[in-house]
Chains A and B, each alone.
Chain A
Amino acid sequence: MVKGSFETMGTVMKVPPSFIVHTPTLRNYVTLILKHPVLRWTLNSMIVAVSVTAGSVLVSCLAGYAFAKKEFRGKQGLFWALLVTMMVPFYTILIPRFIWVKQLGLYNTYAGMILPLIFSAGSIFLARQYMTTISSELIDAAKIDGASEVQVFLYIIVPISKPLIAVLSIFGFMGNWSAFLWPLIITSSSSMRTLPIGIVTAAALPGQLIDIGVSMAGATLVALPMFIVFICFQKYFIKGITIGSIKG
């Protein structure tokens, strides 16, 4: 218990306590910002995290809706084909995907960082689970009133699925903001780095920090948006964690 709370303290109080830096100072932040393109990294992280999340939520909701509410030939088989991808470890496809994306000419581009991460079988699965609870009568009624497929999706499915979209967006954003391995291998120039990678390459080697103060300042910058998201959307977190697990 004591250890646990101590670790949490550790992550909260990232700016080093007194025995390293005796007076509180902004020096670390200034060093970091002056020496490294931190703003560019932050912008990159924002672009990547927001695009991947938006793309992923849209793609997942479209597919989830079709699998939940429509009948079509091959539905079971196609759904299973998507689910099976959840059982494939990321590291199995890491090397071939890297070579393939490079062949497609997307190495060191935003597209190369964003597009491969959009598909998420887990999100599609959750979207389908959620949308099966939407009443079919509602959809049929709208169709009788002359609503097109797109209208049904935009004006019925999307509003009803707001809690789902919130959970997918929050977890998607947090996951992609902190994504490390894929952006690390698919970018080469410093100006394309995302914030977590930039900070690590600037401030740490495996097992050692080049400058503790600067590392902690960087860590704080990476953590800041996540704290904001967490504090703003706390109520969705417990839902988000228990969703897709099992009934107790």
Chain B
Amino acid sequence: MKRDRSAYLFILPAFLFASIFLFIPLGQGIYLSLFKAGITTREFVGFKNFIKMGSDPLFWLEIKNTFIIVIGLVVLNLGLSLFIAVAIHKLSNFLQSFFRFAFYLPGICAGVVTSMVWIWIFNPTYGLLNYMLSLMGIPPIYWLSVGDTARLAVIMMVCTWMLGSHIILFLAALNAVPETMYEAARIDGANAVQRFFYITIPLIMPMTVYILVTTTVGAFQIWEAIYMLTAGGPAYATTNIVYRVYQLGFSYFRFGEAAAHGVLLLCIIFPIAFFQFRYLSKKLEF
């Protein structure tokens, strides 16, 4: 095989940027997690930052919140996007594009924009959500001031950010199922429910796994929504791992502990992302 030395020049810029802004910080992050570090102080403490986590009630709350948000978001998002995609994929091209556009719109806006709209929607006295609920006779809910509803609010908002692209992905998968298979099943006497469960579901499985994995990885790293809606509150009810990293780092300047939480996150995300790569890259679309 012909070896081409010029290749190194082509990849040099990428490696330069990756080294300076990714590999070095990553190494420093793991190193820093072994220190009790503030703005000016730095004292080696070994694994104390990690040991301390176990006895910190806030840590367990943060883990609980993270998993509630991840599970809630994955279930809600996957269910809704599949349901909507199935509902609209039989429609005419025009209607399909219209719904795709409508659902994708919140996703293209900056998170900040939709967050501000949602803060308004969630407002207990003049927000649209409580107004709609009041039409159904439901008393006002203080969405962002109660732990459970605040988490739900975060999940709902982030769900609308992700929904559009997942509907598009499901539609692509649904449209790729050959019509002849449905016809064959119909001739064999399969009803609509059977056709859905025995043809559609198995054939869109790879896409479902892809969406499941990417949503999970994304759901572990929700920060902007929490920053905008609740700032981790009320009473830490929406503080997840990434928000804690931010809070420890930039509110309390406990850099060592913040880095330790970051390393913990790495330990959770890395295996999931690795799985995504190993198993899904074989079926890559371009």
Please give the residue numbers on chain A whose beta carbons come within 8 Å of chain B beta carbons, in ascending order.
Answer: 1, 4-8, 10-12, 14, 16, 19-20, 58-60, 62-63, 65-67, 70-73, 75, 78, 82-83, 85-101, 115-116, 118-119, 121, 124, 126, 129-130, 133, 149, 153, 174, 177-178, 180-181, 185, 196-197, 199-200, 203-204, 206-209, 212, 215-216, 218-220, 222-223, 226-227, 230, 237-238, 241-248
Contact = CB atoms under 8 A, between A and B. Distances in A.
B193 interface: no
Interface string B204-233: 101100100000000011011001111101
Contact of A88 (B11, B26, B108): B26
Given A82-B14, A88-B266, A96-B29, 9 more contacts: A7-B106, A8-B102, A86-B273, A97-B29, A115-B21, A149-B9, A206-B231, A206-B233, A245-B172
A147 B112 CA distance: 48
B237 interface: no
A93 B26 contact: yes
Given A8-B105, A72-B3, A248 B172 contact: yes
Contacts of B69: none
B94 interface: no
A242 B221 CA distance: 22
Given A196-B112, A207-B230, A72 B177 contact: no
A95 B249 contact: yes
A133 B2 CA distance: 19
B6 A59 contact: no
Contact of B128 (A10, A73, A208): A10
Contact of A247 (B9, B176, B259): B176
19 contacts: A1-B84, A4-B163, A5-B102, A10-B128, A62-B10, A63-B14, A73-B3, A94-B246, A95-B32, A96-B32, A96-B259, A178-B109, A178-B111, A180-B112, A180-B224, A223-B113, A245-B169, A245-B207, A246-B206
Contacts of B6: 70, 149
B56 interface: no
- Chain B interface helix/strand/loop/mixed: helix
A91 B270 CA distance: 13
B15 to A, nearest CB: 8
B13 A177 contact: no
A248 B221 contact: no
Interface of B: 1-11, 13-15, 17-18, 20-26, 28-29, 32, 84, 87, 100, 102-106, 108-123, 126, 128, 144-145, 160, 163, 165, 168-169, 172-177, 203-204, 206-207, 210, 220-221, 223-224, 227-231, 233, 241-242, 245-246, 249-250, 255, 258-259, 262-263, 265-266, 269-270, 273-274, 277, 280, 283-286
B76 to A, nearest CB: 12
A8 B119 contact: no
B172 A100 contact: no
A98 B249 contact: yes
Contact of A248 (B110, B206, B273): B206
B223 A95 contact: no
* Interface pairs A-B: 7 shortest CB-CB: A178-B110, A248-B173, A206-B231, A66-B10, A248-B176, A87-B273, A119-B17
A193 B269 CA distance: 31
A82 B18 contact: yes
Given A97-B21, A204-B116, A70 B169 contact: no
B245 A91 contact: yes
B160 A4 contact: yes
B277 A129 contact: no
A207 B231 contact: yes
A89 B22 contact: no
B121 A10 contact: yes
Nearest to B172: A242
B258 A62 contact: no
A51 to B, nearest CB: 13
A59 B18 CA distance: 11
Given A92-B29, A199-B112, A63 B265 contact: no
A115 B211 CA distance: 31
A245 B210 contact: yes
Contacts of B28: 96, 99-100
Contacts of A180: 110-112, 224, 227
Given A85-B18, A86-B273, A246-B207, A4 B102 contact: yes
A238 B228 CA distance: 29
Contacts of A181: 223-224, 227, 246
Contacts of A93: 22, 25-26, 29, 262
